[in-house]
Chains A and B, each alone.
Chain A
């Protein structure tokens, strides 16, 4: 297993277009997170899955954002009608277990640029 994989690594899109990102977690990890990171800031929580169930969504996640994790495996994050303010690094992380004793493993992220 090579860790958490995210695709694409970079995406440039025009304002108003839809984009979709994919995250493949470590295979036995039942918990999956999406975070957004802008320049000079720490990662901000977007949403969290336990298996296929989306258990929490941040208020940062407007109606233009949707995330899925069908069958509890890979996850997708879609942004509709992109805006320049959506430009950021989108990070995916996965972990197993129910407490904090297991670490979260992060992917390399998808850098989105909206022009």
Chain B
């Protein structure tokens, strides 16, 4: 069964600095998708960034980028120039398009941004 592990329950970063959130996963599939979702306090989860496993190039969305290491089954999120609005829970998620079509989430990392 696929699993997703986020080993950092909480991280802090100074405003304008860079922070990296870690995620590892386990799967025997070769084609899949990985996501980072952001859940602000009392608000719904929103997609931050998405990576397709067959693409070697790391995805980038403005200040957010990933380091996707397929062989190591690692998928970290880098947030550059951190802003106060980045404070939230961040969830790493795995999606298998050939199997059950469900998202498997990690336990999350709470990111605090210090002014």
Contacts and interface: CB of A to CB of B under 8 A. Distances in A.
B48 to A, nearest CB: 10
Contacts of B106: 42
Contact of A43 (B32, B52, B95, B105): B105
A99 B102 contact: no
A21 interface: no
Give chain B's interface residue range (CB within 8 Å of chain A): 20 to 34
A100 B105 contact: no
B112 interface: no
Contact of B102 (A3, A48, A98, A106): A48
State the majority secondary structure of interface residues on A. loop
A4 B45 CA distance: 11
A106 B40 CA distance: 12
Interface string A32-48: 01010000111111001
A107 B42 CA distance: 11
A109 B4 CA distance: 22
Interface of B: 4, 6, 9, 32-33, 35, 37, 42-47, 50, 52, 91, 95, 97, 100-108
9 contacts: A35-B105, A42-B6, A44-B105, A48-B101, A100-B35, A100-B50, A103-B50, A106-B45, A107-B44
